A and B are shown apart, each in its own frame.
Chain A
Amino acid sequence: MQPDFSELNRFLLDCPPFDLLSDDKRQWVAAQVKAVYLNEHNVDELFKNYSPALYIVRSGAFDLLAPDGDLIERLESHDLFGFPSLLSGRDVVNKLSVVEDGIVYIISAEVFDHLRQHARPFERYFIHAHEQRLLSRPGQTSPNFAAKKAGAAPAGVEGLGDGASLQRLVGEVVARQAVWLSSTATIQQAAQRMRDEKISSLLVVDDGRLVGILTDRDLRNRVVAQGLDPSLHVNAVMTQAPATIAAKQSLLDALTLMTQHNIHHIPVVDENDQPVGMLTLSDLIRQQKSEPVMLISALNRAKTRDELVHEARQIPEYIHSFAQRVNHAAAVGRLLASLTDTMTRKLIDLYEQNHGVAPAAYVWLAFGSQGREDQTLSSDQDNGLLLANDLNEKQLQWFAGLGEFVCEGLAACGIPKCPGNIMASNPDCRRTRAGWLERFRSWTEAPTPKALMYCQIFFDSRNVRGNKRLYQAYREDVAKLGRSEIFLGNLARLQANVQVPLGLFNRFRGTESGKDSDLIDIKRYGLALINDIVRLYSLHAGLTEPRTLTRLALLSNSQLLSKSDNQALAEAWQFFTQLRLQHQLAVWGTERPKNALDPDQLSTLSRRQLKSAFRIIKDCQQGVSLKFGRIG
């Protein structure tokens, strides 16, 4: 009779990637296992007598050491080791030392190879683990998240198409060939072409390069209404240098871009910036009859502040269901940011209806998480106003009123006020370009640690509404200031002082005090640290982009940040974003901390990933202090 391996089977089920095997295969593995009682007296024989093999720690604790004696990892129950040699065929060079005696299971190379050949997910797990520093599975969800999803099945399945459709790529949706004219064509030719093609907009292309777009609205507002001669060239009335979107970006990106710039047409370009087509709002709506678009347009339709607040109150519940359907947690942060943008713009419109249009050029700035587009439901407001120079008292009064009205309005819509008072309602956050620069200069030249901490969020800014040129000029000035080596050196030292919550031997260390002392704040010690590190590199490179992942993409050719670190940081950022979202969904509506979680509650896989993610931060922190910390 077959011995009963239920104990071992249960253990393997909790030990990724063995949970991916079929029951039969797992039983089969269990019957092939060798168990070794490992202690200081026999540890040296393990690799000598039983390698190559995959080893699984069942109990005890062991340190994996590099040949030079440096600690690579402390291995505890459920940890795997030995697979790099199995995959590469190279001899084991690392050493093992015993911290606490225990049992290690050995899976022979034959069994391992058999599983790789006959169980694809099993193989993928190790290939990934080998190639990337962060162990990950495509589309992985933690068990508790998966269970949640299953529980909400009826609603979830129904809505699945909607959530997925926003993830589709722009290139898949733009089917027809780009319709274009050169900038020297006449306005009349353009109108005829649009009539023939039955389209509402045209690309204007010179020498294969996109120079502008022309829309129905332009023909109405700039030609007919102005009584312009239709035999003039198109370039007199087109919108120059329009915002574009890459074919590889998602529809959600497109949606965000449209709401950001309040436009209905976006030219689509390929990797080489060659125009390939036009994406219109109706294309999007056709793809996506559902909620994100509906929600945004509901916000836009609101006629009064009360109506807006009423609509905005639906957001948390909606986000809650949206978040369970999309694969990328980053999409949720972007959606929240674009909802906040929409609310902000609507509030500005409402203010203008009652107090007249803005008396001067200005920009409504979004800082921090809204600026970076990684907002969560618990993120608070960070915003400010950039004003034109030489405003009189009355004009300043108008903007003071605007700041007050919008910030109060956003708070009523459910976006908490900023405890640090970084809000446009604060006179200190309503400044001219020179005023802001002076403010930045004081931080960059004579920084106190607190000022440094605060000022970082100002570097993650976005123009929500207002004068583009004013913003661009401001942003470029700020970027110049940010390149100050002394400033960067100070930031680097500040960042290196924040310890990731890995204690001695890579064990988790709680970051909170009191009854929460086992918890780890993954925002402060995870996401925020990655944002800080990436910001530092992009300040140094003079980037004006606020989003962390886009910053990393732009830094891909950086001399300072290696490709592998770049990729590792992006993976870690995505992992933390996902983990935080799952956690926030789990604690939604309770009093439990929104950003702090108990690592013991995580699945084995998530726990391993969390450790790797923290280790990536730790490595990159060292890189940062080496590269920037010495200066100043």
Chain B
Amino acid sequence: MGWWQQLQHFWQRRQHLNRGWRDHRYIALDVETSGLDARRDQVLAIGWIEVTPPVMDFQHGQYFVTQSAPELKQSPVVHGLVRRDFASAEAPEAALRALAEVLEGAVLVCHHVQFDWQFLQRFARQYKVRLRPLAKFDTLTFEARRLRLQQHHIARGSLTLKACRSRFGLPDYQAHHAFSDAIACGELFLAQAYQYAGRTNAPLKELLK
């Protein structure tokens, strides 16, 4: 990419970030992995759902099992995945292409986005797919900052997805599965964003600060 293109890209992105947060598309996403180390462990499944505030459309949700023979460090029913699911795994490229397409110009939303992003990036590089979200939003960091601003002591376990959701009165979901966790994360994001921005359509960049 030449310097001119880079500059153009930079400007465009700046303009996008200045637009109201409600005018953007978000991809709430969760990956399931075989472990915690992105350098060694594998992505087992990816689930996501598109959020166009204030709506989450279940028709625009996707779920891919990406490994057919996983090395599991945890129990075989990790994240609700069972052997049967792995048997129906699809080619990782298909999943990554679909993801790359929806992420184009959208904001990636995860609970602890660093973690998911590390895995995703390595995974995508492996299959030579480029993921280019407009920005990344971390519901966990956002919540930590919110609590700190309210001068709350942040107790252990108070930043799990479940704990964060319950502070917003969101229901407790039984299933733990990349897709339902993605939905859970998307709902939390909407709750956080509306609480932060209120009636105003605040610029996206403020949400990302």
CB distance from A543 to the nearest CB of B (A): 51
A37 within 8 A of B: yes
Within 8 A of B (CB), among A1-59: 1-8, 10, 30-39, 41-42, 45, 50, 58-59
A60 contacts chain B at the CB level, 8 A cutoff:
yes
Question: Which residues 43-62 of B have a CB within 8 angstroms of A?
Answer: 47, 49, 53-59, 61-62
Evaluate contact between B171 and A41: CB separation under 8 angstroms. no
Contact: B47 with A3, CB < 8 Å?
yes
B180 touches which of A7, A35, A77, A106 (Cβ 8 Å): A7
- The one of B58, B62, B63, B170 in contact with A33, judged by C-beta atoms closer than 8 angstroms, is B58
How far is it, in angstroms, between the C-alpha of A6 and the C-alpha of B183 when the chains are bound? Answer: 12
**Of the candidates B62, B168, B183, which one forms a contact with A7 in the assembled complex, judged by CB atoms under 8 Å apart?**
B183
A194 within 8 A of B: no
Instruction: Specify which of A1, A2, A7, A34 is in contact with B174 (CB 8 Å cutoff).
Output: A7
Residues of B within 8 A of A230 (CB): none
The reply to whether B169 and A4 form a contact with Cβ atoms under 8 Å apart is: no
- Taken together as a complex, chains A and B put the C-alpha atoms of A59 and B183 apart, in Å, by 14
Complex CA distance for A574 and B57, rounded to whole angstroms: 41
- Bound form: Cα–Cα A5–B197 in Å: 30
Mask of A100-114 contacts with B, CB within 8 angstroms, 1/0: 111100100000000
Asked if B187 CB lies within 8 Å of chain A CBs, one says yes
Quick one: which of A31, A35, A50, A106 has the most chain B CB within 10 A? Answer: A35
Interface assignment of B191: CB less than 8 Å from any CB of chain A: yes
A38 partner residues in chain B, CB cutoff 8 A: 54
User: In the complex, which of the residues A1, A8, A31 contacts B59, with contact meaning CB atoms closer than 8 Å?
Assistant: A31
Which of these, A4, A30, A50, A101, contacts B194 with CB under 8 Å? Answer: A101
Inter-chain contact B54/A36, CB cutoff 8 Å: yes
A4 and B59 in contact, given A36-B54, A60-B169, A103-B170 (Cβ under 8 angstroms) = no
Indicate the size class of the contact surface on chain A: 20 to 34
Assembly CA distance A30 to B58 (angstroms): 7
Taken together as a complex, chains A and B put the C-alpha atoms of A38 and B170 apart, in Å, by: 11
Secondary structure class of chain B's binding surface, majority of residues: mixed
Is B170 in contact with A59, judged by CB distance below 8 angstroms? yes
B117 interfacial by beta-carbon distance below 8 Å:
no
Closest beta carbon of chain B to A478's beta carbon, Å: 57
Whether A1 and B90, one on each chain, are in contact in the complex, defined by CB atoms closer than 8 angstroms, is yes
Pairwise interchain contact A3-B54, C-beta atoms closer than 8 A: no
> Smallest CB–CB gap between B115 and chain A, Å?
21
> B58 and A101: CB pair below 8 A?
no
The answer to whether B54 touches A37 (Cβ under 8 A) is yes
- A residues less than 8 Å from B169 (CB atoms): 59-60, 100-102
Contact partners of B62 in chain A: CB under 8 A:
3
Chain B's nearest CB lies how many Å from the CB of A53? 12
**Per-residue 0/1 for B167-209: is the Cβ within 8 Å of any A Cβ (1 yes, 0 no)?**
0111101110101100100010011001101110000000000
Contacts of B194 in A (CB 8 A): 37, 39, 41-42, 101
Question: Chain A contacts of B63 at CB under 8 A?
Answer: 1-4
Whether the pair A101, B191 counts as a contact (CB closer than 8 A) is: yes
Tell me the complex Cα distance, A10–B172, Å: 13
In the complex, whether B118 has a CB less than 8 A from a CB of chain A is: no
Complex CA gap A1/B62 in Å reads 7
Closest to B170 in A: A59
Q: Nearest-CB distance from A6 to chain B (Å)?
A: 5
Distance A50 CA – B191 CA, assembled complex (angstroms):
20
Instruction: Name A61's closest neighbour in chain B (CB-CB).
Output: B169
CB distance from B82 to the nearest CB of A (A): 12
- With a cutoff of 8 Å between Cβ atoms, the chain A residues found around residue B175 in the complex are 4, 6-7
Contact between A41 and B170, CB atoms less than 8 A apart: no
CB pair B187–A3 under 8 Å, yes or no, is no
Q: Which residues of B contact A50 (CB under 8 A)?
A: 55
Contact yes or no, A3 B179, CB < 8 A = yes
Within 8 A of B (CB), among A498-526: none
Q: Which residues of A contact B183 (CB under 8 A)?
A: 7, 35
Contact partners of A34 in chain B: CB under 8 A = 55-59
Determine the distance from Cα of A103 to Cα of B177 in the docked complex, in whole angstroms. 20
Given contacts A34-B57, A34-B58, A101-B191, contact A4 B171 (CB under 8 A): no
Instruction: Report B134-181 residues with CB < 8 Å from chain A CB.
Output: 168-171, 173-175, 177, 179-180
Residues of B within 8 A of A32 (CB): 58-59
- Determine the chain A residues whose CB is within 8 A of the CB of B168 once the complex forms: 101
Is A4 touching B179 in the complex (CB atoms < 8 A)? yes
Name the residue among A3, A32, A41, A58 with the largest chain B CB count within 10 angstroms: A3
Chain A nearest CB from B202 CB (Å) reads 11
Q: Which of B118-139 contact A (CB under 8 A)?
A: none
Query: Would you call B88 an interface residue if the criterion is a C-beta within 8 Å of the partner chain's C-beta atoms?
Result: yes
Q: Which of B58, B80, B173, B199 contacts A35 (CB 8 A)?
A: B58
CA distance A596 to B199 in the complex (A): 45
Task: Indicate if the CB atoms of B59 and A77 lie closer than 8 Å.
Answer: no
Distance from A4 Cβ to chain B, minimum over Cβ atoms (Å): 5
Q: Is B103 an interface residue (CB 8 A)?
A: no
Q: CB of B102 within 8 A of chain A?
A: no
Q: Chain B residues near A37 (CB, 8 Å)?
A: 53-54, 56, 187, 190-191, 194
B120 to chain A, nearest CB (A): 18
A36 touching B55 by the CB < 8 A rule? yes
Complex CA gap A4/B56 in Å reads 15
Please measure, in the bound complex, the distance between the C-alpha atom of A50 and the C-alpha atom of B52, giving whole angstroms.
14
- Give the chain B neighbours of A103 by CB distance below 8 A: 170-171, 187
Q: Which of B64, B171, B199 contacts A58 (CB 8 A)?
A: B171
Q: Which residues, 13 to 50 on B, are CB-close (under 8 Å) to A?
A: 47, 49
Q: Which residues of A contact B54 (CB under 8 A)?
A: 36-39, 42, 45
Query: B65 at interface (Cβ–Cβ under 8 A)?
Result: yes
State A1–B81 Cα separation when bound (angstroms): 13
B171 near A35: Cβ-Cβ < 8 Å? no
Collect the chain A residues with CB atoms within 8 Å of residue B57's CB.
Answer: 34
Q: Do residues A1 and B64 form an inter-chain contact, with CB atoms below 8 A? A: yes
| A59 and B171 within 8 A (CB) | yes
The docked-state distance in angstroms from the alpha carbon of A39 to that of B47 is 26
Q: Which of A272-308 contact B (CB under 8 A)?
A: none
CA distance A1 to B170 in the complex (A): 27
Shortest A286–chain B CB gap in Å is 55
> How far in angstroms is the closest Cβ of chain B from A426?
57
Contact string against A for B residues 57-100, beta-carbon threshold 8 Å, 1 for contact and 0 otherwise: 11101111100000000000000100000001010000000000
Q: Which residues of B contact A5 (CB under 8 A)?
A: 58, 179
Q: Mark A227-248, 1 if CB is under 8 A from B, else 0.
A: 0000000000000000000000
A398 CB to nearest B CB, Å: 70
Most A Cβ at <10 Å: residue of B54, B170, B171, B187: B54
- Chain B, residue nearest A105 (CB): B58
CA distance A87 to B169 in the complex (A): 32
In the bound assembly, the distance between CA atoms of A473 and B199 in angstroms comes to 73
Extra pairs beyond A4-B80, A35-B187, A41-B197 (13, CB < 8 Å): A3-B47, A3-B179, A7-B180, A33-B58, A35-B56, A37-B54, A37-B187, A37-B191, A38-B54, A39-B191, A42-B54, A59-B169, A101-B168
A-B contact pairs, 15 of them (CB 8 A): A1-B64, A4-B63, A6-B180, A7-B173, A10-B174, A32-B59, A34-B55, A34-B57, A35-B58, A36-B54, A39-B194, A39-B195, A77-B171, A102-B169, A106-B55
B interface residues, Cβ below 8 angstroms from A:
47, 49, 53-59, 61-65, 80, 88, 90, 168-171, 173-175, 177, 179-180, 183, 187, 190-191, 194-195, 197-199
A-B pairs, top 4 by smallest CB distance, nearest first, are A37-B190, A3-B63, A3-B179, A35-B56
